[in-house]
Structure 1
Amino acid sequence: MSELSITTTQNVKINFIAASIGARIGSYFIDLVIKSSYILVVAFVLFYFFRFDRVFAGLDVWSRRAVIFIICFPVLLYSITLESIFEGQTLGKKLLKIKVVKIDGYQAGFGDYFVRWFFRLIDISILGGSVALVAVVSSKNSQRLGDMAAGTAVITLKNKINISHTILEEIGNSYVPTYPLVIKLSDNDMRIIKETFLKAEKKNDHEIIYKLVAKIESVTGIKKQSGENSDFIRVILKDYNFYTQNM
């Protein structure tokens, strides 16, 4: 499985693991079973309960094809509809915890799902999916042709990097920042600060934390208010996240 590095709109790189071939094939067959079950149920209801077989037998060839097309139409739109509703997941992908994402860090939209859906004709319908299989195995980001055209990739959610592994900090909607001068720092500065702080805190190294606070003050002009050095750094991280999200 290859690792994908996705850059968010805040220039933060988050690494994901590309979905395995097995997971992608598994989700495809789960979706196939769901779609096949739908057709069987609809056909059973029409022909058994409503005796549609008599009407169907009296239709000409084109009318029969039209009826079959109407019955199968939801199946044709299955993947693009569910991926649009569930933000990159069909029922099969949900069960196997994989998802379609944009490789530029933005949320995939309907246009991206449409491109992927359109290329299914080449990727999957032709030659029994061998085109998609070869493309996924040989491409850098484990992409089939539809993914390459849409700028998307399929990732596993089982190994998704937690927010604590990035410079991002979870803050509530009512959060009030303390140090506006924190915007003098860059994403790289904050990444170094957070990594250094977490390591020092884990080792209970108060000297490193003290030096980190002094460095932040000298670079930004911020003066720490009363409180522990550790609390100060936590506030700095949250403030930076607040200002970069709202700029």
Structure 2
Amino acid sequence: MNQEQVGIKTPEFVSLQFQLAGLGSRATAFIIDLLILLVVNILIIIALIIVFAGGRDLLDFTGTDSLLLGITIVGLFLINTGYFIALEYFSGGRTIGKRVIGIRAIQENGHSLTLLSSFIRNFLRVIDNLPAGYFLGIIMIFFHSKHKRIGDLVAGTIVVHERKGKRKKKLSPIEQEIAKKGLTKDDLTIEEWSLKSISQKDWNLIKTYSNRLMQLPTNERSELTLQMAWLLFPRFGLELVGKSNLDLENTLLVLYLILKEEWAYEL
């Protein structure tokens, strides 16, 4: 089926446009993830056999303790399921396969996956796999208007293509300032729990600050920076004491870069 566009209006009344990921891109990403997990599973099994078989033939399972076998099976299940849950939650809806293909899972309201939605959509892969070979999931993705499988329906999620500019855009004044300062997202480490607590309102606030910054005279620029720092730094667990106004401004601009990747939805 052809890739389609879907419009979403967030609870903050922001209109977003996404390009839905179809069966081909989703299947390719899933196969990449399965290959990664296959290698991990094989390495884990070989390591366990070497450790607990006492040097016996790797194919000799006669001496394998039933409890150890049960723990291994449960452990592999948790690893294989947890791989998708953890990566999608902590990496903005992207597993390694999704990142390679350029797609991501998001909530239907346009927000990032919550831990619960990531858990539901991936735990229900068991149902999507029925009767075998992911048959039900393939049929659902192919025929559903938003290319949803059972896990997506229950979790309220969709899978979309990453928004990448097809042509190089002229840098805005604030982007020119950031480039001039040589600032990057790697200049600041933010705890994952802090990023997950950020709302659309917080993003709009720092975006407005960044866009207005270059239009203000020096004294107003310094005053606005200090106000924003007092307001936002506690949310991210950042210290204000002992920092110059320039340090505060640079930190806020780096925060802008970090949040922009998660909240800027321009196609």
State the TM-score, normalizing by the size of structure 1. 0.60
Contact persistence 2:22–2:141 (CA under 8 A): no
Contact persistence 1:80–1:114 (CA under 8 A): yes
Change (3 A) 1:53 1:148: farther
Aligned letter for 1:11? F
Structure number with greater Rg is: 1
Measured after TM superposition, the shift of residue 11 of structure 1 is: 1.5
2:37 to 35, 38, 49: 35
Change (3 A) 1:67 1:53: farther
What do the CA deviations read for 1:215-235 (whole angstroms, capped 9, x no partner)? xxxxxxxxxxxxxxxxxxxxx
Between the aligned partners of 1:8 and 1:71, the Cα distance in structure 2 is 38
Change (3 A) 1:22 1:52: farther
Contact persistence 1:16–1:161 (CA under 8 A): no
Measured after TM superposition, the shift of residue 136 of structure 1 is: 1.3
RMSD, matched Cα: 3.3
Between the aligned partners of 2:77 and 2:54, the Cα distance in structure 1 is 16
Change (3 A) 1:39 1:52: farther
Corresponding residue SS for 1:88: coil
1:127-138 equivalences in 2 (<5 Å) = 127-138=132-143
What do the CA deviations read for 1:126-184 (whole angstroms, capped 9, x no partner)? 331111111112212111111111111000115689999xxx89544584699xxxxxx
Change (3 A) 1:67 1:52: farther
Between the aligned partners of 1:76 and 1:64, the Cα distance in structure 2 is 18
2:106 to 101, 104, 109: 101
Equivalence for 1:187:
none
Measured after TM superposition, the shift of residue 49 of structure 1 is: 6.7
Contact persistence 2:130–2:136 (CA under 8 A): no
Segment drifting more, 14-23 vs 118-127 = 118-127
Q: Any stretches of 5+ residues in structure 2 without a counterpart? A: 171-203, 217-267
Between the aligned partners of 1:152 and 1:160, the Cα distance in structure 2 is 24
Between the aligned partners of 2:81 and 2:14, the Cα distance in structure 1 is 37
2:96 to 81, 91, 97: 91
Percentage of identical aligned residues: 24
Aligned residues: 175
2:128 to 123, 139, 163: 123
Contact persistence 1:39–1:72 (CA under 8 A): no
1:176-215 equivalences in 2 (<5 Å) = none
Between the aligned partners of 1:84 and 1:52, the Cα distance in structure 2 is 39
Equivalence for 2:174:
none
Equivalence for 1:154:
159
Indicate yes or no: 2:21 matched with 1:19.
Answer: yes
Contact persistence 1:100–1:152 (CA under 8 A): yes
Indicate yes or no: 2:119 matched with 1:114.
Answer: yes
Contact persistence 1:16–1:159 (CA under 8 A): no
Measured after TM superposition, the shift of residue 97 of structure 1 is: 0.8
Aligned letter for 2:49? F
Aligned letter for 1:100? A
Q: Which of 1 and 2 has higher RCO (CA within 8 Å, sep 6+)?
A: 1
What do the CA deviations read for 1:196-215 (whole angstroms, capped 9, x no partner)? xxxxxxxxxxxxxxxxxxxx
What do the CA deviations read for 1:85-141 (whole angstroms, capped 9, x no partner)? 112111111111100111123332011111101211111253311111111122121
Which 4+ runs in 1 deviate beyond 4 A? 48-56, 158-164
Contact persistence 2:104–2:162 (CA under 8 A): yes
Contact persistence 1:100–1:154 (CA under 8 A): yes
